[in-house]
């Protein structure tokens, strides 16, 4: 999976380059990205972006358990989408995404999520899941648009930065969905 590239009608999901760090840094200043992706360091520094493109994403691919991609449309970086935990025999691989604020509302996140799920299911994953905060209506709409079905609510499954926790909507796609 080290150099895997997934293409859709409008998008290319490819491994990040060092040159992507600036666009990643800018997008990750967005309050919604910082609010909903609780694993993101806050404040999000240029060093964090360099780490994402140069260390975190290559390491995820090198482990062979998934891929962390940047999403390009018309040659511009418009977001990021990833899939990991291919080895999880119970829940199947997990998908995550963000879209840069200036590129939202064009269906990019849903197109990327659908393509990653298709790719994983074609590789033989029995199911693909994604977890969204119950208050993150945008992400839940993306999941539905990408062909996922909500299966339930995982209570107190999300750790927030302030030490409190929140509920998560569990979505999944199976082969044939
Ligand atoms: C959630 C997010 C990825 C959506 O990106 P996007 O590229 O604008 O999404 P899309 O254009 O593919 O939209 C897909 C669906 O979501 C809906 N949607 C997108 N943003 C929305 C919003 N802010 N509020 C409500 N619905 C929204 C779209 O209308 C569309 O719905 P439809 O299928 O009914 O037409 C983006 O807002 C984001 O990066 N948020 C912060 C990070 C985040 O929440 N990541 C997910 C963590 S689980």
Q: How far is the CA of 124 from the centre of ligand 1 (A)?
A: 27
Q: What is the pLDDT of residues 48-72, one digit of tens each?
A: 999 999 999 999 888 888 889 999 9
* Ligand 1 binding residues, C-beta < 6 A: 32-33, 36-37, 96-99, 104-110, 132, 136-139, 141-142, 145
* Residues 127/174, Cβ–Cβ less than 8 Å: yes
Angle at 142 between CA 89 and CA 56, to 5 degrees: 55
H-run or E-run covering 31: helix 31-36
* Residues 94/82, Cβ–Cβ less than 8 Å: no
Instruction: Starting at the earlier edge strand, list the strands of the sheet with 94-99.
Output: 6-7, 11-14, 67-73, 76-84, 94-99, 128-133, 165-173, 149-159
Give the pLDDT score at 108: 98
What global pTM score does this model have? 0.96
Residue bearing the CA closest to ligand 1, atom 33: 145
pLDDT tens per residue across all 177 residues of the chain: 657 899 999 999 999 999 999 999 999 999 999 999 999 999 999 999 999 999 999 998 888 888 899 999 999 999 999 999 988 999 999 999 999 999 999 999 999 999 999 999 999 999 999 999 999 999 999 999 999 999 999 999 999 999 999 999 999 999 999
Residue bearing the CA closest to ligand 1, atom 13: 107
Give the pLDDT score at 1: 62
Give the pLDDT score at 66: 84
Where do the domains of the chain lie, and which CATH numbers do they carry? 6-173 (3.40.630.30)
Give the pLDDT score at 36: 98
Distances (CA, A) of 97 to 81, 139, 163: 4, 9, 23
Tokens of residue 141, six digits: 């709409």
């Amino acid at each position: 999976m080290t150099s895997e590239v997934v293409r859709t009608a409008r998008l290319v999901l490819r491994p990040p380059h060092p040159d992507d760090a600036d666009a990643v840094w800018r997008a990750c200043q967005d309050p919604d990205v910082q609010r909903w992706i609780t694993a993101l360091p806050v404040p999000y520094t240029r060093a964090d972006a360099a780490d994402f493109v140069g260390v975190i994403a290559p390491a995820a691919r090198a482990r062979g358990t998934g891929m962390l991609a940047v999403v390009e449309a018309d040659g511009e970086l418009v977001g990021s989408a990833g899939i990991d935990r291919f080895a999880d025999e119970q829940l199947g691989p997990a998908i995550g995404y963000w879209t840069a604020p200036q590129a939202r509302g064009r269906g990019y996140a849903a197109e990327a999520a659908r393509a990653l799920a298709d790719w994983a299911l074609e590789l033989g994953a029995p199911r693909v899941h994604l977890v969204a905060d119950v208050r993150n209506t945008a992400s839940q709409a993306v999941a539905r648009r990408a062909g996922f079905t909500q299966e339930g609510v995982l209570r107190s499954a999300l750790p927030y930065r302030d030490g409190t926790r929140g509920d998560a909507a569990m979505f999944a796609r199976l082969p044939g969905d």
